[in-house]
């Protein structure tokens, strides 16, 4: 009797469990490390559908065909079925990392000359808005803004030498090349690409790789081997909290 009840509830329980994991990912904010904002609403829709499907399954359930003779029976069979269904769910919710490691970031490449997509009109508009902002004020910028500006000679001419305020993750690469980077998420964490700017000037401090830093300095756009590499000549640098959105979107 107990085995039959377990068989009855197992599929609905697993669908509900997956829905719960999705909803928990949204409620806890962990979804920010997994998906671009444009796709997050689909996770909520999927969770709701799984909940509805689990309820529909219970309503429409019919007993399955008899168990094959060689199949495990009793508690062993039920335990195996539940383990096969629930272990992936537990692993997905518990083992999912909250951030990229330094080695992953370096392997994906800390690019300062990455070509921002031409279709990204919002990013181009942001860069132009930064350039057209009050030159007497410190301009709050993202790493992507400086990279976008570095790809337009007219924007470089207008913005070179401006005081900027930028937040990002630190990477020392052995202390020889100091960079501030952000991960650009196109769709999900699997395609996240680190994009960086160089740091020079007053960078003194015991900074650790992947530490969030708040930097104020002067924007520079030196050219190296024909490539313009955006750089901030640092006036002040200090630790800061992770932003509400740890990933940037193109």
Say how far apart CA 171 and CA 199 lie, in whole Å: 10
DSSP 3-state of 225 = coil
Q: What is the pLDDT of residue 118?
A: 47
Those residues with Cβ within 8 angstroms of residue 38's Cβ, 6 or more apart along the chain or in another chain: 249
Q: What is the pLDDT of residue 135?
A: 82
Alpha carbon distances (Å) from 12 to 34, 51, 57, 74: 26, 8, 6, 20
Q: What is the pLDDT of residue 172?
A: 84
Q: What is the pLDDT of residue 74?
A: 56
Q: What is the pLDDT of residue 72?
A: 47
Alpha carbon distances (Å) from 243 to 32, 88, 101: 11, 30, 18
pTM for the model: 0.68
Q: What is the pLDDT of residue 71?
A: 44
DSSP 230: -
Q: What is the pLDDT of residue 1?
A: 52
CATH number of 102-248: 2.40.50.140
All structural domains of the chain with their residue ranges: 2-94, 102-248
Calculate the CA 154 to chain-centre distance. Answer: 32
Alpha carbon distances (Å) from 192 to 39, 49, 153, 180, 184: 14, 28, 27, 16, 5
Q: What is the pLDDT of residue 221?
A: 93
For residue 38, the number of C-alpha atoms closer than 13 Å in the C-beta half-sphere is: 7
Say how far apart CA 154 and CA 149 lie, in whole Å: 9
Question: From first to last of its 250 residues, what are the pLDDT tens digits of the chain?
Answer: 555 666 667 778 888 888 888 898 899 888 888 888 888 888 899 889 888 888 877 776 655 555 444 444 556 655 665 665 566 666 665 655 555 555 555 555 565 555 555 445 666 677 778 888 888 899 999 998 898 888 888 889 989 999 999 999 998 865 557 899 988 887 887 778 888 899 999 888 889 988 999 999 999 999 877 788 899 999 999 999 999 888 887 6
> Between helices 121-131 and 143-150, what is the axis angle to 10°?
90
């Amino acid at each position: 009797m107990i085995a039959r009840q377990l068989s009855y509830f197992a599929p609905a329980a697993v669908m509900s469990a997956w829905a719960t994991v999705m909803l928990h990912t949204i409620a806890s904010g962990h979804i920010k490390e997994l998906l671009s904002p444009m796709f997050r609403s689909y996770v909520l829709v999927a969770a709701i559908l799984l909940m509805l499907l689990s309820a529909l399954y219970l309503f429409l359930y019919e007993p399955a065909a008899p168990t094959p003779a060689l199949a495990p029976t009793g508690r062993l069979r039920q335990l195996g079925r539940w383990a096969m269904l629930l272990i992936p769910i537990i692993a997905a919710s518990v083992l999912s990392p909250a951030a990229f490691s330094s080695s992953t970031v370096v392997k994906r490449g800390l690019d300062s000359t990455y070509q921002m997509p031409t279709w990204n009109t919002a990013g181009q508009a942001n860069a132009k808005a930064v350039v057209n902002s009050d030159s007497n004020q410190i301009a709050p910028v993202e790493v992507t803004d400086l990279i976008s500006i570095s790809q337009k000679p007219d924007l470089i001419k207008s913005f070179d030498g401006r005081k900027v305020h930028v937040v990002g993750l630190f990477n020392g690469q052995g202390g020889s090349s100091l960079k501030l980077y952000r991960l650009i998420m196109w769709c999900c964490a699997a395609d996240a690409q680190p994009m960086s700017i160089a740091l020079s000037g007053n960078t003194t401090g015991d900074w650790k790789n992947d530490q969030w830093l708040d930097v104020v300095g002067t924007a520079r756009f030196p050219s190296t081997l024909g490539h313009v590499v955006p750089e901030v000549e640092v006036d002040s640098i200090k630790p800061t909290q992770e932003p509400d959105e740890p990933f940037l979107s193109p």
